[in-house]
Amino acid sequence: MTLDDRKLDVLRAIVEDYVATQEPVGSKALVERHQLGVSPATVRNDMAVLEEEGYIRQPHTSAGRVPTDRGYRLFVDRLSTVKPLSPAERRAIERFLVGAVDLDDVVHRTVRLLAQITRQVAVVQYPSLARSTVRHLELVPISTTRVMVVMIANTGRVEQRQVELPTPLDETQVTTLRRLTNEKLCGSKLSDTPPLVQALVDEAPVELRAATVALSTTLLETLVERHEERVALAGTANLTRGGLLDFQGSLRPILEALEEEVILLKLIGEVEPITRVRIGDENEIDNLRATSIVSAGYGPGVTIVGGLGVLGPTRMDYPGTIATVRAVARYVGEMLAQN
């Protein structure tokens, strides 16, 4: 059976009320708070249908209704309109992000901003190395048999590793090596480097061959293979909002999941600029079956270099959260483009 308009209105009203009050909503309260134009009895009939279809459920026989994950999904897909940000929020975002001195700074400010506006847990991925291009590779001699290689990416990320050299190099040899690697790798995407690095080794003059091998091994191992993603997290205290009602009193599994970078990356590592919503059970991580995640990709212009998002109880203000995440992602992208 297909749901008629009024039933959808009822579902929308239930979601809105439940999100606002955190209490199961009954037929009488519903007609009082919304202009549905029908009596409680009618609403009850509609509710029975909605329950049969799996969009709402009763915690106990004599209680009101609560949306199911499926109900939230329908709400998000068809019943809600994206809430425009208030001018105050808009200004807050702008003010928060200007004056960042540093990529680290941008990321930290962003994650705190997101947590503060949405009042939920915020996660921001650093621009992915795999989607960055090399702007410069610097070799800094630490001792005669050790150099620190510093890679600066176009996204502002800076990564460094120490490389142990098989043979000592003098100053001019380091300079040559620096020139060669930069000529070869500058401007290329990090994910495309393996063949370039190979070429670098092949073309290196004999006396630098061994050093080049050591250098390229480190580069490939640390930057490409274990491709070094990073994330920032803020707002975990917001999980305690709403007392023990959300998450049936146990933050444990959620806090555990949030400590795993791999999991966070899976949640917010977006490839597309689309705002994505994962509701409760739709989530792949078992520990997070009671939460919803709203995430979006960001990047300068149209390319996406990383993801960011927000995690909260399934009972969340989806329209508001979606709007905020989307807006913040856009602003961060602009921030990066200026760089």
Partner DNA sequence: GACTGGCACTCGCTACAGTCGAGTGCCAAA
Partner DNA sequence: TTTGGCACTCGACTGTAGCGAGTGCCAGTC
Angstrom distance (rounded) from CA 182 to CA 204: 13
Stretch that binds DNA, among 34-42, 139-147, 300-308, 321-329 (CB under 7 A): 34-42
Among 63, 82, 142, 262, binds its own copies (CB under 8 A): 142
Residue 160 C-beta: closest distance to DNA, Å = 56
> Segment 12-31, which members bind DNA (CB under 7 A)?
24-29
Does 112 help bind DNA (rule: CB under 7 A)?
Answer: no
Does 33 help bind DNA (rule: CB under 7 A)?
Answer: no
Residue 119 C-beta: closest distance to its own copies, Å = 13
Q: How many residues bind its own copies (CB under 8 A)?
A: 30
Does 68 help bind DNA (rule: CB under 7 A)?
Answer: no
CA 307, distance to chain mean position in Å, is 4
Helix, coil or strand: residue 69: helix
Does 64 help bind DNA (rule: CB under 7 A)?
Answer: yes
- The listed partner (DNA, its own copies, none) that binds 255, CB under 5 to 8 Å by sort, is its own copies
Among 3, 6, 152, 261, binds DNA (CB under 7 A): 6
Angstrom distance (rounded) from CA 18 to CA 22: 5
Does 101 help bind its own copies (rule: CB under 8 A)?
Answer: yes
Nearer to its own copies, 300 or 319 (CB): 300
233 token code pair? 């997290």
Strand-pair partners of 159: 151
Nearer to DNA, 33 or 330 (CB): 33
Angstrom distance (rounded) from CA 30 to CA 298: 39
Please report the DSSP string for 175-198 in residue order: HHHHHHHHHHHTTSBGGGHHHHHH
Q: How many residues bind DNA (CB under 7 A)?
A: 25
- The listed partner (its own copies, DNA, none) that binds 38, CB under 5 to 8 Å by sort, is DNA
SS3 breakdown of the chain: % helix, strand, coil, rounded to 5? 55, 20, 30
- The listed partner (its own copies, DNA, none) that binds 33, CB under 5 to 8 Å by sort, is none
Angstrom distance (rounded) from CA 11 to CA 79: 9
Which amino acid belongs to residue 236?
T
> Segment 225-254, which members bind its own copies (CB under 8 A)?
234-237, 239-240, 244, 249-252
User: By the 8 A CB rule, do 109 and 328 touch?
Assistant: no
Which amino acid belongs to residue 322?
I
Asked whether the CA dihedral 229, 235, 241, 244 is positive or negative, the reply is positive
Q: Which residues bind its own copies (CB under 8 A)?
A: 101-102, 135-136, 138, 140, 142, 148, 150, 152, 158, 160-162, 222, 234-237, 239-240, 244, 249-252, 255-256, 258-259
